[in-house]
Structure 1
Amino acid sequence: MGTERLTGLRAALADEGTALLGAFCGIPRLEVVQIIGYTGFDLVILDGEHGLFDASALPGLIAAARGAGLQVVVRVPRLDPQVISAALDAGADGVLVPHVRTAQEALLAVQACRFPPRGIRSLHGAVAAARYGTRPDYLSAANTDCACIVMCEDAQALEAIEDIAATPGLDAVFVGPFDLSASMGHVGQPAHEEVVAATREVFAAAARAGVAAGVMAAAPGAVAGWFADGARFVVAGLDTVMLREGAAATVAATQIRASR
């Protein structure tokens, strides 16, 4: 990080006292985003990789998240500077870049998040993030505000994790245990002991590099343990899963099905 004075989500992730609880949102409805905020989550990740929306839905969803008191990260569908720029132009506090496997890819992700001379992000002073031209400090503040988070979810990334974590300007490494488990030969077993051990190795590499670590918890009961292991942000839920489980619990509580 050097001596740069960070702000926004970048500053929060750099703070060792941070403990952000997040949720993935793949349903393109502002009501879903608002519910995530109003029920106590700190951060929402708008899922542009697996979610049911594209960049055109982002401004409204981000505005809804802001109104509900949430930090907003967009998981972009791929490592693509134009796609990353579009998410940040829409007003996201940061991006989550999937399947980053090498330090070179991590550096490209960081550069895509920063305006020149620190990066290659395209400049536009009248987008939503700039309050359509009414934020005079936008071009300078965006570099210190917007967080670049890369996902470690491949066995190849584990081999390069020290170099990935040490990428200049990177804010956090986030472990995706579901894809990681598949890549390690344990398909559908995100809580497998080898996957858990690998996640802790990622945390250790992040700590050595002075960047934040995060993870998707396999179950809500695992969240506290990940924070204890050094995570600064943990994703504890997915909107579709929370909706399914809530609906199933409601049906079960009626005891109607059992009596049929």
Structure 2
Amino acid sequence: MELPVNRFKQAIAAGQSQIGLWCSLPGSYAAECVAGSGYDWLLFDTEHSPSDPLTVLAQLQAVAPYPVSAVVRPAANDPVLIKRFLDIGAQTLLIPMVNSATEAQAAVAATRYPPRGMRGVSGLTRATRFGRVAGYAERAEDALCLLVQIETREALDRIEEIAAVEGVDGIFVGPADLAASLGHVGKTGHPEVVAKVEDAIARIIAAGKPAGILTPDASFAARCIALGTLFTAVGIDAGILARQSEALLKGFRK
């Protein structure tokens, strides 16, 4: 059995824009519902949602038949969490709160087997198709994509050193936490936050890495794509459900 190809990794490496949807609802049913909507990638979040490896496993299984790439965000830059998501078959990870080259190096090490890293070895995981992928341990990192998230003032100051870390495949700007770090909590549209985000995108690209972002603001999403983001999440499933259900009711209660 062959090692599955990581289409998302190939696409951003080739400079192809990938439009994504953020999935914070933990159910596999909701994941499958949006899997056929035409997005290039879905982000399964476990940092700001109740999800965990077991719920993500069900989501990965639910979307596997569809032509969409799955990205998983662990709750933290933790080698144990990273190992568990890799073992259940996640090929692309988004690591939150990476503030330095040292932290980026730790994330890379967590995705590599010794001697290049510290990932624990098991030959009977979903990632290995339960031992059916020949040479998985030797070839696994070729199909893994590691994205790191910068979302603090400290991380902004260190974009170039983070981008220089071997094994980092892309850098994602997190506007919400960045706004808080800059003293504008809850105000992602504040002029200083917008300016910092746009500058970060330019610097990431200049450093030779694909840039990404999440923003449900359609006009700002288009602006980020114009600036060069290659993996752009343009909505959140829970937000769509909440706002669209409110809008539907509003039409009947005038």
- Please give the range of the TM-score, normalised by the shorter of the 2 chains: over 0.9
2:163 to 162, 165, 180: 165
Per-residue CA deviation, residues 174-223 of structure 1 (Å, 9 max, x unaligned), is: 01101100110111111222212212222222223221110111412322
Q: Distance in 2 between matches of 1:61 and 1:13?
A: 23
**Which TM-score applies when normalising by structure 2?**
0.93
Counterpart residue number, 1:151: 149
2:55 and 2:100 map into 1 onto residues whose CA distance is 30
Q: Secondary structure at the match of 2:113?
A: coil
Alignment equivalent of 2:139, drawn from 141, 161, 166:
141
Aligned counterpart for 2:225 among listed residues 224, 227, 251: 227
The more displaced of 225-234 and 67-76 is: 67-76
Q: Counterpart of 2:193 in structure 1: which amino acid?
A: V
Match of 2:66 in 1: 68
- The DSSP-based 3-state class of the residue aligned with 1:91 is coil
2:23 to 17, 22, 25: 25
TM-score normalized by the length of structure 1: 0.91
Structure 2 residue 9 is the aligned partner of structure 1 residue 10:
yes
For 1:227 and 1:174, locate their aligned partners in 2 and report how far apart those are by CA, in whole Å: 13
Equivalenced residue count is: 250
Q: Which residue of 2 aligns with 1:3?
A: none
**Structure 1 stretches of 5 or more lacking a match?**
1-5
Deviation at 1:140, TM superposition (A): 3.0
Deviations 1:127-148 (A, max 9, x none): 1111111111422332011111
CA distance in 2, matches of 1:145, 1:201: 30
Amino acid at match of 1:195: V
Counterpart CA distance in 2 for 1:252 and 1:68 is 34
Residue ranges of structure 2 left out of the alignment (5+ in a row) = none
* Deviation at residue 7 of structure 1 after TM alignment: 5.2
Change (3 A) 1:166 1:248: same
Is the contact made by 1:28 and 1:53 (CA closer than 8 Å) also made in structure 2? Answer: yes
Secondary structure of 1:67's partner? coil
Identity percentage of aligned residues:
34
Tell me the CA shift for residue 20 of structure 1: 1.0
Q: Which residue number in structure 2 is paired with residue 80 of structure 1? A: 78
Q: 1:220-259 residue pairs with structure 2 within 5 A? A: 220-253=218-251, 255=252, 257-258=253-254
Partner-residue secondary structure (3-state), 1:125: coil
Paired AA for residue 96 in structure 1: L
Q: Which is richer in helix?
A: 1
C-alpha contact (below 8 Å) 1:110/1:148 kept by paired residues: yes
Three-state SS of the structure 2 residue aligned to 1:129 is: coil
